[in-house]
């Protein structure tokens, strides 16, 4: 149907592939063809079934129905080992690396046990040189950056000389510059006649590097195309189905300072944590300050300190509405009108096994003490008033749920996130601090949450958004600062920053950029 040589047998061909979890079809009769020597995009938003599909191709999951054909032969892929034997390599989105082991050991684990560790190290070293992926086989993974970890995964896959390499959202953890370097490697692979299955929801990227694209939505194939012939809008339509509501923003004259952080330094609390170094920032009412950065550069640590989950001895380092709060706990800060939404929904922003009403109380037991608790010193919980507040939040944020008060774990990621954000908005906070507001959330929920954040700022609150998603940042921020290795750049007005500029800041503002890899060695 599509252009080139239909006569050649595709490298991989999938027909009617279906995966059921209970009665839910994560993949529903998927058809897919990957030709030799092409970079093939698998597009789809979160929850479309991309990960389930590739897990079946790599033998991690077993299909419920359907057929996989490899180089013209019908195959059943029972395990990752079988997939590797066929010539399929995989680079996972959440890396399957072992922090306590060395790079060499990590690579050895997926190879033939007969090859010695020394031999593997040699081969890995020469491979990484050939593809421009520098690595030290003796280094411990725990000490490496995210980009370096991804290189291990890629080298690990390449060592087995695969015909097909699957990459799951590889650029979501990279700076734009690191991503460019990855693309070079991919082109080199294609040049050697290998195929790449490239999973992404980033349209620009797919249009730039992929030869063909298959689009998934709700577990079904909704389109196959040449992405270079499409516009971002047309790809987005295939991916999302209906048009997404656009987020509207108006800039207001900023008001009083709501959050003021000056020269805040916090040592890392865990061996693998990041220490914050000399962080200063200031947010006024009506502003949305976005803090951009690649994952693992101190965002979590910054959130913990701003929220008061971790206090600092210097009370003056953090001021909320003019009060020194560095040594004040999270509830003390909430009583000053601050609200917080952490990155992790399960087990941080919400307790997965508890009903929504309990999860409402979780964040508001002290700030709404008067309405939610009674019985004096015994603090008896007023379940009825909490339940009605829960219904109010759910109605306001359009939280889709089954039953009156389901457990947080029963909600989809997007609905739970809407609930968690709504729980805080319901208080009409003077200051809202959000970490990764739309991480792993479907497009509909994401646009609703972004609009809510903008509306909150418009109504006169100050908003801090910590995010890795640059599109999101450009959509909602009035000011942008970049965090890198625990240091925060100055804030820039959103209009004055380009993508390239942010990318450079993400790569490290405190170093003069030398262009080489070695700059990151320490």
Could you say which residues in the range 266-305 bind another protein, by CB under 8 A?
Answer: 270-271
Residue with smaller CB distance to another protein, 146 or 351: 351
Q: Indicate whether 322 belongs to the interface with another protein (CB under 8 A).
A: no
What would the DSSP string read from start to end of 87-150? TEEEE-SS----TTSBHHHHHHTTS-TTS-HHHHHHHHHHHHHHTT----TTSBGGGS-HHHHH
Residue with smaller CB distance to another protein, 292 or 399: 399
Q: Indicate whether 307 belongs to the interface with another protein (CB under 8 A).
A: yes
- What interhelical angle do 232-240 and 443-458 show, nearest 10? 110
Question: To the nearest whole angstrom, how small is the minimum distance from the Cβ of residue 193 to another protein?
Answer: 25
* Interacting residue with another protein among 67, 76, 161, 371 (CB under 8 A): 76
Q: Starting at the earlier edge strand, list the strands of the sheet with 318-320.
A: 276-284, 257-266, 318-320, 323-324
Question: To the nearest whole angstrom, how small is the minimum distance from the Cβ of residue 122 to another protein?
Answer: 17
* Interacting residue with another protein among 36, 37, 66, 80 (CB under 8 A): 80
Question: To the nearest whole angstrom, how small is the minimum distance from the Cβ of residue 265 to another protein?
Answer: 19
Q: Indicate whether 219 belongs to the interface with another protein (CB under 8 A).
A: no
* Interacting residue with another protein among 2, 98, 263, 323 (CB under 8 A): 98
**Residue span 325-354 as binding mask against another protein, x where in contact by CB under 8 A, dash where not:** ----xxx--x-----x-x-x--xxxxxxxx
Q: Indicate whether 262 belongs to the interface with another protein (CB under 8 A).
A: no
Residue with smaller CB distance to another protein, 374 or 493: 374
Cα–Cα dist 174/150, whole Å: 9
Residue with smaller CB distance to another protein, 286 or 300: 300
Question: To the nearest whole angstrom, how small is the minimum distance from the Cβ of residue 261 to another protein?
Answer: 20
Helix (H) or strand (E) holding 50: helix 50-57
Residue with smaller CB distance to another protein, 95 or 198: 95
262 touches 254 (CB < 8 A): no
128 touches 188 (CB < 8 A): no
Question: To the nearest whole angstrom, how small is the minimum distance from the Cβ of residue 274 to another protein?
Answer: 15
- Report CA dihedral (109, 110, 112, 116) to the nearest 10 degrees: -40
436 touches 407 (CB < 8 A): no
Question: To the nearest whole angstrom, how small is the minimum distance from the Cβ of residue 475 to another protein?
Answer: 27
The number of residues making up the chain comes to 522
Residue with smaller CB distance to another protein, 71 or 96: 96
* Interacting residue with another protein among 109, 224, 225, 244 (CB under 8 A): 109
Cα–Cα dist 24/31, whole Å: 19
Q: Indicate whether 60 belongs to the interface with another protein (CB under 8 A).
A: yes
Q: Candidates 31-39, 102-110, 233-241, 253-261 — which segment interacts with another protein by CB under 8 A?
A: 102-110
**Tokens, residue 390:** 């829960």
Q: Candidates 36-44, 96-104, 196-204, 205-213 — which segment interacts with another protein by CB under 8 A?
A: 96-104
Could you say which residues in the range 358-417 bind another protein, by CB under 8 A?
Answer: 358, 361-363, 365-366, 373, 375, 378-381, 406-407, 409-410
Q: How far is CA 109 from the centre of its chain?
A: 27
**Tokens, residue 318:** 């953090």
Sort residue 196 into left (φ over 0), alpha (ψ -120 to 50) or beta: beta
108 touches 121 (CB < 8 A): no
Angle at 473 between CA 360 and CA 419, to 5 degrees: 15
Cα–Cα dist 418/410, whole Å: 14
Question: To the nearest whole angstrom, how small is the minimum distance from the Cβ of residue 20 to another protein?
Answer: 11
Q: Which residues bind another protein (CB under 8 A)?
A: 22, 55, 59-62, 75-82, 84, 92, 95-101, 105, 108-110, 113, 142, 270-271, 307, 309, 329-331, 334, 340, 342, 344, 347-354, 358, 361-363, 365-366, 373, 375, 378-381, 406-407, 409-410
């Amino acid at each position: 149907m599509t252009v080139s040589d239909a006569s050649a047998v595709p490298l991989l061909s999938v027909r009617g592939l279906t995966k059921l979890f209970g009665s839910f079809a994560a993949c529903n009769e998927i058809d897919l063809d990957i030709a030799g020597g092409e970079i093939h995009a698998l597009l789809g938003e979160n929850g479309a079934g991309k990960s389930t599909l590739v897990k079946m191709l790599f033998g991690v999951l077993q299909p419920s129905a359907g057929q996989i054909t490899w180089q013209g032969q019908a195959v059943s892929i029972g395990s990752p080992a079988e997939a590797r034997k066929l010539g399929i390599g995989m680079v996972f989105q959440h890396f399957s690396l072992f922090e306590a082991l060395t790079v060499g050991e990590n690579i050895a684990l997926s190879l033939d046990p007969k090859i010695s560790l020394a031999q593997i190290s040699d081969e890995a070293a020469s491979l990484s040189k050939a593809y421009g992926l520098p690595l030290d086989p003796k280094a411990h993974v725990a000490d490496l950056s995210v980009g370096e970890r991804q290189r291990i995964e890629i080298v690990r896959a390449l060592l087995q000389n695969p015909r097909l390499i699957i990459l799951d959202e590889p650029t979501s953890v990279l700076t734009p510059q690191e991503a460019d370097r990855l693309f070079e490697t991919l082109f080199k692979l294609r040049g050697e006649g290998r195929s790449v299955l490239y999973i992404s929801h980033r349209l620009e990227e797919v249009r730039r590097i992929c030869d063909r694209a298959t689009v998934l939505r709700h577990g079904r194939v909704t389109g196959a195309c040449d992405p270079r012939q499409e516009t971002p809008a047309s790809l987005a339509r295939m991916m999302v189905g209906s048009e997404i509501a656009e987020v509207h923003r108006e800039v207001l004259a900023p008001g009083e300072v709501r959050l003021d952080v000056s020269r805040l330094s916090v040592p890392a609390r865990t061996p693998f944590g990041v220490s914050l170094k000399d962080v200063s920032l200031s947010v006024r009412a009506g502003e949305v300050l976005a803090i951009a950065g690649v994952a693992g550069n101190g965002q979590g640590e910054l959130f913990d300190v701003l929220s008061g989950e971790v206090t600092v001895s210097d009370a003056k380092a953090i001021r909320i509405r003019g009060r020194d709060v560095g040594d004040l706990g999270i509830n003390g800060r909430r009583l000053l009108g601050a609200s917080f939404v952490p990155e992790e929904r399960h087990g941080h922003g919400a307790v997965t096994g508890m009903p929504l009403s309990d999860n409402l109380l979780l964040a508001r037991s002290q700030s709404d003490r008067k309405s939610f608790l009674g019985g004096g010193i015994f603090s008896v919980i007023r379940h009825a008033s909490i339940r009605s507040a829960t219904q109010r939040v759910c109605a306001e944020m359009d939280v889709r749920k089954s039953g009156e008060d389901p457990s947080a774990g029963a909600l989809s990621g997007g609905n739970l996130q809407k609930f968690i954000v709504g729980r805080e908005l319901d208080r009409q906070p003077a200051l809202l601090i959000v970490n990764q507001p739309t991480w792993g959330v479907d497009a509909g929920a994401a646009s609703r949450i972004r609009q809510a954040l903008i509306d909150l700022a418009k109504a006169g609150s100050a908003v801090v958004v910590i995010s890795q998603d640059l599109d999101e940042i450009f959509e909602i921020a009035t000011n942008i600062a970049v965090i890198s290795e625990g240091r925060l750049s100055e804030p820039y007005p959103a209009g004055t920053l380009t993508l390239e500029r942010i990318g450079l800041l993400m790569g490290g503002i405190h170093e003069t950029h030398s262009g080489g890899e070695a700059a990151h060695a320490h």
